[in-house]
Chain A
């Protein structure tokens, strides 16, 4: 019989186990395949982060998506490793018989590797169908997603998945087939069950904890594998759920810092409309009217400004000058020991249409999250550029200059800003006034939140007879925050698929644990232990695994989030409560899901449960 036909028949005989493995793999593949084009559709190319070309919001989203995909890949590999090591534990005797009857180790390896390939292929195929289907479904519901599918990236991802799954699967197969026939056929031998854990300190605990802990330690290999599997899955859940909650609040905070809360803009009605359109470019493609921003009709006269500040009783007022122009990439030098002199010159003279905003650094209502340095009243020859502009035309922006209207400005920092979707340059207002025909076309006022509507009414009445209008930024800010939150919410729910895989792994582990210990449980019951005691022992085993995995993954997940994935995180009580609730629900789900095999064992009488007196 060929390896393929043997493998197919063998899988057919163990339909349920094969089904669980395929479902677990499909779940991991589906979430990775779904995320990849989704990232592309949101303008978050994974390649951008790999090439170090992402800034601001894009960097944050890209990091998350790349990280979730990598974790999914790892989970896929670990699931295959775990489920195949479980299968191999149960098949030890079969392997012994095969080898005893003269089957070569290579033939045994070929049979189980063929089974592995079939399972990986089916899991990958189902996962791809589900992932692409889910992506197209989301695209149909959300019109801003373009529905573009990058087949090359998807194929690379699937090959990566297949490679990882085969690598881990083959590892567990090779461990099992190395056993000698006599070892494999021995009654006392069970793959990975050779450890005797004395654990003297355990004697202080009750019989339930002692038996549960020692049983887990005795089957060290499967215990280690399920621990690794669950820890990785729960790390993904921590990163995604806690990360999304923290990132959602943090990015909302970045947004609020960039736009400002309770800030209004007063400008000519044409500019007000354009400003609103440019702010909403962050979440939808809008085209502002073409106007000459530096035209005299848009200038705000100084007496009018003073009157408006007085009427509004503003906490803070800031004059700005906005206009559109072309920005050019200036050259710079970065330290690179591989180049002569130890320096590498960067800059390709790229250009982009951008908006320039003259600001008063000491009076500004914005408090951007900046990589680098902010503008100050003394830095007339410096620029602060938006995250998108930094990505588009610069190689190493903080080491380069930007050329605006034939004047070079040193880039002091890259800021996160939703205005024109991050394609913006902030310069000192005084450095622009020298070249511009007007001094100010926007007035930003931070007003008291208590008198918000009265202030708006007073200003509206005052401006009624003029061409100037008020733009209240709170609603724009809230729309942008809602958009951010909708993306994070989507990312937050993705690990649900991995959670299914985790549930399946724990289920398989408990089923295996119960089947291995069935004889001992019936002995315990024969000498007087109640069903309840046996149930508690199995439940304690599941709980120990879950608790250790939860603690490890919680720590790893938070460290990853706070130290690597989210800069300057904002953690509110709401985030902590929401995460605790969702994570608690996850653990509860896993626990409840695994009550089934535990419940099943309690339903059996002692003799049904595998009791053998001799």
Chain B
């Protein structure tokens, strides 16, 4: 189902991103226009090196474009400094990575609490929210385990819970099922579906057929360009 009625959450126009390796310039993104509306689930697919992750990084404010303009939730990210971007990500953006990227020295509960602690939420509120999120991803019994003691699927569920900790409006997921088996992937797809139901905007880089079917629309990227919408 495609949602075109919501207000625009992401508005990227003429985005270019190039890297220099020695004397060689590599164009990761070449004049990309991209947008997403509130509550929309957009899937991005393409071959390795097509620029999917770079686009996701730019949307999340992890990288700046070489040229072009990127507006997320009405904020022009190209004009923001590093400090502001960190605050922005903490408040509005939730990241999920293929390799889970949990903080190894923190327990499951502490990993989920981490963005809330950064946002300086009251302790009682953090505890309640962690409990609620653990229940949502079905990992209450794993609250005090470290990432190294969890399976891949469990780690990815913790990563989703962390992404939702501050009630992020925008979820950016980079191949969230890329390292998981079919059964575990389905659990992740269920989470995406529930997030879609509660109106979260989600941009997901994926090749997973179930997620592609769930998406409102998908874009295909090739050699730094969007070739199909």
A residues near B, CB below 8 A? 188, 196, 198, 203, 206-207, 210-211, 214-215, 218, 519-520, 523-533, 605-607, 611-614
Contact = CB atoms under 8 A, between A and B. Distances in A.
Contact of B83 (A527, A530, A605, A607): A530
B101 A218 contact: no
Contacts of B91: 528
Contacts of B162: 527
Interface string B87-106: 10111011101110111111
Given A196-B149, A207-B114, A528-B90, A607 B82 contact: no
B80 to A, nearest CB: 13
B103 A523 contact: yes
Contacts of B57: 607, 613
Shortest Cβ-Cβ A-B pairs, 5 listed: A528-B90, A614-B98, A214-B105, A613-B174, A530-B86
Given A526-B60, A607-B63, A614-B98, A196 B148 contact: yes
Nearest to A611: B62
A210 B101 CA distance: 18
A614 B175 CA distance: 8
B118 interface: yes
A527 B149 contact: no
Contact of B82 (A196, A210, A214, A531): A531
A606 B99 CA distance: 17
A531 B144 CA distance: 27
B210 interface: no
A525 B117 contact: no
Nearest to A534: B86
B115 A528 contact: yes
A216 to B, nearest CB: 9
B107 to A, nearest CB: 8
Contacts of A188: 148
B118 A528 contact: yes
Interface string B106-123: 110010001101110000
A599 to B, nearest CB: 15
Nearest to A206: B117
Nearest to B107: A198
A527 B95 contact: yes
B116 to A, nearest CB: 10
A54 B226 CA distance: 87
A531 B86 contact: yes
A527 B62 CA distance: 10
Contacts of B86: 525, 528-531
B19 to A, nearest CB: 9
Given A528-B90, A614-B53, A218 B104 contact: yes
Contacts of B148: 188, 196
B166 to A, nearest CB: 8
B105 A527 contact: no
12 contacts: A203-B110, A210-B110, A214-B106, A520-B103, A523-B102, A527-B118, A527-B163, A529-B90, A533-B118, A607-B63, A611-B62, A613-B174
B34 interface: no
Interface in B105-143: 105-107, 110, 114-115, 117-119
A519 B174 CA distance: 16
A531 B87 CA distance: 11
B29 interface: no
Contacts of B175: 614
B29 to A, nearest CB: 14
Interface of B: 53, 56-57, 60, 62-63, 82-83, 86-87, 89-91, 93-95, 97-99, 101-107, 110, 114-115, 117-119, 144, 146, 148-149, 162-163, 166, 174-175, 178
Contacts of B53: 613-614
A198 B60 contact: no
A527 B90 contact: yes
A210 B106 contact: yes
Nearest to A211: B105
- Which residue, of A218, A528, A530, has the highest number of chain B Cβ atoms within 10 A? A528
Contacts of A528: 86-87, 89-91, 93, 115, 118-119, 166
A248 to B, nearest CB: 46
Contact of B103 (A211, A607, A612, A613): A211
A614 B87 contact: no
Contacts of A519: 101
Nearest to A614: B98
Contacts of A211: 103, 105-106
Given A527-B114, A607-B57, A611-B62, A198 B144 contact: yes
Contacts of A529: 86, 90, 114, 118
Nearest to A203: B110
Contacts of B60: 526
A533 B117 CA distance: 11
Nearest to B105: A214
B149 A524 contact: no
Contacts of B90: 527-529
A519 B82 CA distance: 18
A529 B118 CA distance: 6
Contacts of B106: 210-211, 214
A215 B117 CA distance: 18
Nearest to B83: A530
B99 A612 contact: yes
B99 A207 contact: no
B62 to A, nearest CB: 5
A207 B103 CA distance: 12
B87 A530 contact: yes
B222 to A, nearest CB: 19
B206 to A, nearest CB: 11
A198 B148 CA distance: 13
Nearest to A214: B105
A530 B93 CA distance: 14
A212 B141 CA distance: 26
A613 B146 CA distance: 20
Contacts of B117: 206-207
Contacts of A196: 146, 148-149
A520 B83 CA distance: 18
Nearest to A187: B99
B61 to A, nearest CB: 9
Nearest to A537: B105
- Which residue, of A198, A523, A524, A525, has the highest number of chain B Cβ atoms within 10 A? A523
A145 to B, nearest CB: 54
B105 to A, nearest CB: 4
A613 B83 contact: no
Contacts of B97: 523, 613-614
Contacts of A526: 60, 62, 89, 95, 101
Contacts of B94: 527
B131 to A, nearest CB: 15
